[in-house]
Amino acid sequence: MSLRPDLEDEDREGDGDFSDMLSEMRILLPGAQMLSAFLIILPFNQGFSKIVHMEKQLFLATFFFALTSLVLLSAPAVQHRVLRPLKDRVRFKRIATRQIVAGAFSLAIALVLGTDLVISEVFGAAVGLAVAAVMALLILIFWWLMPAYLHRKL
């Protein structure tokens, strides 16, 4: 229970402070940063030139989605700073929320592709696809389906 119920009402309507979005970005951004950093150094390793063309395309797609997630997840922070003082907090929060969700979607794709890339290299293509499918299923359930289910129930 909050000491200021008026703040809770504002936040439910999307006009509250941005601490919830900041907390969410603090969770998502490091994952996107770590994945991107790993992918940036990967081509400079000796064995990278030996991987087949299809794996290089998989790397390119993974790298693209990882960088896209970084851009989308960091965009609200940059925009918030550039647009100060905010004149329409509700609209800004709505747009920023869409960007964060799009960034999370892009990160999810990058995680699945990255899983396939790494596991395929170590254990072969069939195992890589199977583990990537399990990762996709976990992300689908815990990032997208469970919140939708809970939103309907609550």
Q: What is the pLDDT of residue 8?
A: 46
Work out how many domains the chain is built from and give that number.
1
Q: What average pLDDT does the segment 28-36 reach? A: 92
- 54: in domain: yes
Q: What is the pLDDT of residue 16?
A: 55
Residue 95 has pLDDT above 80, yes or no: yes
- 3: in domain: no
Q: What is the pLDDT of residue 61?
A: 97
DSSP-derived secondary structure for 31-68: HHHHHHHHHHHGGGSGGGGGS-HHHHHHHHHHHHHHHH
- 113: in domain: yes
> Domain range holding 81?
17-40+48-153
Confidence of residue 141 (pLDDT cuts 50, 70, 90): very high
- 93: in domain: yes
Instruction: Say which residue the tokens 């993974």 belong to.
Output: 62
- 126: in domain: yes
- 100: in domain: yes
∠ Cα 8 145 37 (to 5°):
90
Contact between residue 48 and residue 42 where contact means Cβ atoms under 8 Å apart: yes
Confidence of residue 17 (pLDDT cuts 50, 70, 90): low
- 95: in domain: yes
- The model's pTM: 0.83
Contact between residue 106 and residue 69 where contact means Cβ atoms under 8 Å apart: yes
- Cα separation, 154 vs 149, in Å, equals 9
- 12: in domain: no
Q: What average pLDDT does the segment 55-70 reach? A: 96
Residue 7 has pLDDT above 50, yes or no: no
Least confident span in 12-21, 22-31, 70-79, 112-121: 12-21
Q: What is the pLDDT of residue 117?
A: 94
